[in-house]
Structure 1
Amino acid sequence: MKMLFDFFPVLLFFIVYKMVDIYAATAVLIAASAIQTVGHRLLKGSFEKTHVITFVLVAIFGGLTLFLQNELFIKWKPTAINWLFAIIFIGSHFIGNKTIIERMMGANISLPDPVWNKLNIAWALFFIFLGAVNIYVAFEFDTDTWVNFKLFGLMGLTFAFIVAQSLYLVPYLKEANASSDD
């Protein structure tokens, strides 16, 4: 359910783009991101950091797109978000005693510190990659192709990365299960 809630602004953007245009889709994206951010606060009693970061960047880049009637700003938004997340993941190696990925997943699984560090670096590199691919598609293809890539390409790449991450973690999860069986 959480994934659907996190995904709905992008889905609405896609639908409105296909029905109207990039500017209407951008306005809907800004509104949907605001609803998502406030909705999480009302339902869970707190703001989710990723929603807040995304909403701020959507409001900035989307606002510039609407104000200047230039679609390039909204096309830069996925890159800005992904590169900001990469900076956060890299920065977490130097701030605090746990990486951001360990803070997010550490309550659910137990891994050795070197594995947490590799996983965190992998996510940072993945976010850098996503940002670069977004720029390539935004500047080398038409807007319709970019919108399709934004929905299906970025989601597909993320899903593939999560599967790869899961396969990487399997041996460590087996070790943890074997240790708990003793």
Structure 2
Amino acid sequence: MKQLFDYLPVVVFFGLYFLSGRDIMLATWGIIAATSFQVVAGRLIWKRWHRLHLMVLAVTLVFGGLTLLLRDDVFIKWRPSIISFVLAAVLLGGHFLRERNLLQRLCEKLMISGFGRVVALGAAQWTRLNLAFVLYFIFLGALNLFIAYTFSTDFWVNFKLFGFTAIQMVFYVAVFLYFYRHISEEDRKQLFHQEKSAKESKKKDDDAVRDNQ
């Protein structure tokens, strides 16, 4: 649910853009409203302010507001690049300010919530992964600006929807393969065993339901 909730503003933006006959101003109103709702709803549901959502809201209000005030869609096109550059700067800064870089700490939290424990990875691997994410966000930000200034608004929206989604999928698959390659054989077996045990448990529950029907 949390992952789907994070994509709410983007879904609203694309939905309004295409349903309104490619009205970028209406889509901008929509993403401002959806991002504001995301921050408030996130606070009510999870009882805390999500810093990433707050950052995205600030960028959206500034660049979305300029788009609506000046009636110039170039400012809303800057929004994804600014967010990407900020994320790159945060990850890069987090690498130098702490013993465990920000990416490592975030991933370890995800591991605990998903696997119930932390899967060990060497410091050199975390450094490479952190640098890869920094370069990835810089690349996305630069590519977005190139598309925004080189092609039409309609092409920019379509490329942002399909092109950036494809790039994101390729990058995250590559990260997963790198991560899987560098964890210990014992961690691989335990993760596989957990997945297998969960499937077997589900199958037993299904069989028990059928037996009682």
Identify the TM-score tier after normalising by the shorter chain: over 0.9
Please tell me whether Structure 1 or Structure 2 has the larger radius of gyration of its CA atoms.
2
Matched, 1:69 2:79: no
Q: Is the 8 A contact 1:62 1:74 kept in 2?
A: yes
Tell me if structure 2 keeps the 8 A contact 1:65–1:72. Answer: yes
Q: Distance in 1 between matches of 2:169 and 2:83?
A: 17
Asked whether the 8 Å contact 2:84–2:140 carries over to 1, the reply is: yes
Deviating 4+ runs (over 3 angstroms): none
Match of 1:168 in 2: 178
Q: Which residue of 1 aligns with 2:196?
A: none
Counterpart position of 2:140? 130
Bigger shift: residues 119-128 or 2-11? 2-11
* Residue 85 (structure 1) shift: 0.5
| Residue 115 (1) aligns with residue 125 (2) | yes
State the structure with bigger RCO (CA 8 A, min sep 6), 1 or 2.
1
Counterpart code for 1:164: A
How many residue pairs get matched? Answer: 181
Residue 47 of structure 1: how far off its partner (Å): 1.5
TM-score by length of 1: 0.93
TM-score by length of 2: 0.80
Task: Name structure 1 gaps, 5 residues minimum.
Answer: none
Unaligned runs of 5+ in 2: 112-118, 191-213
Query: How much does 1:5 deviate?
Result: 0.9
Question: Any residues of structure 2 matched to 1:12-91 within 5 Å, and which?
Answer: 12-20=12-20, 21-91=23-93
RMSD: 1.7
Q: Is the 8 A contact 1:80 1:131 kept in 2?
A: yes
Deviation at 1:36, TM superposition (A): 0.7
Report deviation, 1:144. 0.7
Tell me the alpha carbon deviations over residues 94-113 of structure 1, each in whole angstroms, 9 at most, x when there is no partner: 11221111110124232111
| Equivalent pair of 1:64/1:70 in contact (CA under 8 Å) | yes
Question: In structure 1, what is the equivalent of residue 11 of structure 2?
Answer: 11
Change (3 A) 1:175 1:73: same
1:176 is displaced (CA, Å) by 4.8
Q: CA deviation at 1:69?
A: 0.5
- The 2-side partners of 1:28 and 1:179 are apart by 46
Kindly indicate whether the alpha-carbon contact (under 8 Å) linking 2:13 and 2:27 is maintained by their aligned counterparts in 1.
yes
Correspondent of 1:148 among 139, 143, 158: 158
Identical aligned pairs, as a percentage?
Answer: 39
